[in-house]
């Protein structure tokens, strides 16, 4: 039986809770606090949490401005979850179309319901190739759409994630209260995705063998982009090679020729493992931008800049030639309108 993880924070996604200062701490506070005999090591670390959040929030704002400059019609969401499940983000709790980014949740629910050997046959196709038929079979192994939702809400404790329907090869694979007029009912938030990956990485959701297998499958996903039209390695593409190879993720996308322009998006979420084995969970979305190649450039750049801040690696070069400039040769069908 999986252990119950801590509840997700209910505070605003852009404000991390700070410990209340005692009158003694207030009186002795300095711009750069240091441990003192009357202050515990934990109190010292807590005193830095607000500064970390403030500077990271500034980085988010810079990324927001860049997204608005590159893709004025776009929408973005960012969530960073630390090992203690503190959430830092921008629009982190906004409901978004989940696409294939939630397939690891289906795999986890299937592992608990059907066991490792049953899931193994579908895992490579569903998680590494992002095959939609295999994804549907994971839902079936979990016991169906409603069973996936029950696992998501009660075990993973992700209250803002819902599977409405996945009708690839089976038109009846729908929730009990499925509403045909709501074709975009598969929803999640970047906060939920980041919390899922944090809890998975800490081993809180599954038994040891199932947890290890799911993490390995997500580690075997693409760590870089082989071409500008690639979509499955964006989160890790600009990170240092050793970091990318140690990190796990799953992307989900709605690309040109798939959907009307207002539904196009890229989500990528996972766990970024630093060289010292510390880690954080990250989920990033860019949606509705006019230019899909620029959408993907921004997600890769945002992931890199967040890593550079958290890893304290100011020399990491995150910018690539051509960033922010639409190249019609990459996605010639990426303009606005219905495809």
Taking only the tens of pLDDT, the chain with its 339 residues reads 343 333 333 333 343 444 444 433 433 444 444 544 455 666 655 655 668 888 999 999 999 999 999 999 899 999 999 999 999 999 999 999 999 999 999 999 999 999 999 999 999 999 999 999 999 999 999 999 999 999 999 999 999 999 999 999 999 999 999 988 776 799 999 999 999 999 999 999 999 999 999 999 999 999 999 998 999 999 999 999 999 999 999 999 999 888 877 889 999 999 999 999 999 999 999 999 889 999 999 999 999 999 999 999 999 999 999 999 999 999 877 554 332
pLDDT, residue 123, reads 97
Residue 321: both structure tokens together: 């030639």
Domain ranges within the chain, ordered by starting residue: 69-310
From first CA to last CA, the distance across the chain in angstroms is 46
Q: 69-310: which CATH architecture?
A: 3-Layer(aba) Sandwich (3.40)
What whole-number distance in Å separates Cα of residue 259 and Cα of residue 253?
11
pLDDT in tens, 57-80: 999 999 999 999 999 989 999 999
CA trace torsion 194, 197, 202, 203 (10° rounding): 140
This prediction's pTM: 0.85
pLDDT, residue 257, reads 83
pLDDT, residue 109, reads 98
pLDDT, residue 171, reads 93
pLDDT, residue 174, reads 95
pLDDT, residue 179, reads 84
Q: Specify which residues 187 forms β-bridges with.
A: 97, 162
């Amino acid at each position: 039986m999986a252990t119950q993880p801590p509840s997700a924070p209910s505070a605003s996604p852009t404000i991390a809770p700070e410990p209340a200062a005692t009158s003694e701490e207030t009186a002795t506070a300095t711009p750069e606090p240091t441990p003192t005999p009357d202050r515990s090591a934990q109190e010292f670390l807590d005193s830095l949490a607000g500064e970390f959040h403030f500077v990271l929030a500034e980085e988010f704002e810079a990324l927001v401005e860049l997204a608005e400059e590159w893709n004025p019609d776009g929408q973005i969401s960012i969530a960073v979850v630390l090992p203690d499940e503190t959430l830092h983000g921008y629009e982190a709790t906004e409901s978004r179309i989940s696409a294939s980014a939630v397939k690891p949740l289906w795999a986890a629910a299937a592992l608990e319901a059907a066991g490792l050997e049953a899931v193994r046959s579908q895992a490579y196709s569903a998680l590494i190739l992002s095959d939609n038929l295999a994804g549907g079979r994971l839902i079936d192994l979990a016991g169906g759409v409603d069973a996936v939702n029950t696992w998501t809400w009660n075990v993973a404790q992700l209250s803002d994630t819902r599977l409405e329907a996945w009708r690839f090869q089976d038109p009846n694979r729908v929730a009990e209260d499925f509403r045909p007029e709501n074709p975009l009912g598969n929803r999640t938030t970047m906060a939920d995705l980041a919390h899922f990956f944090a809890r998975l990485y800490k081993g809180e959701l599954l038994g040891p063998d199932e947890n290890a297998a799911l993490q390995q499958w997500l580690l075997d996903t693409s760590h870089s982009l082989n071409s500008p039209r690639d979509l499955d390695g964006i989160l890790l593409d600009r990170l240092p090679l050793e970091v990318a190879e140690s990190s796990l993720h799953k992307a989900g996308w709605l690309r040109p020729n798939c959907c009307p322009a207002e539904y196009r998006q890229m989500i990528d979420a996972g766990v970024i493992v630093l060289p010292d084995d510390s880690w954080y969970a990250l989920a990033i979305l860019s949606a509705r931008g006019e230019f899909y190649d620029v959408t993907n450039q921004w997600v890769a750049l945002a992931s890199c800049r967040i890593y550079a801040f958290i890893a304290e690696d100011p020399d990491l070069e995150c910018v690539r030639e051509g960033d922010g400039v639409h190249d019609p040769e990459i996605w010639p069908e990426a303009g606005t309108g219905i495809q």
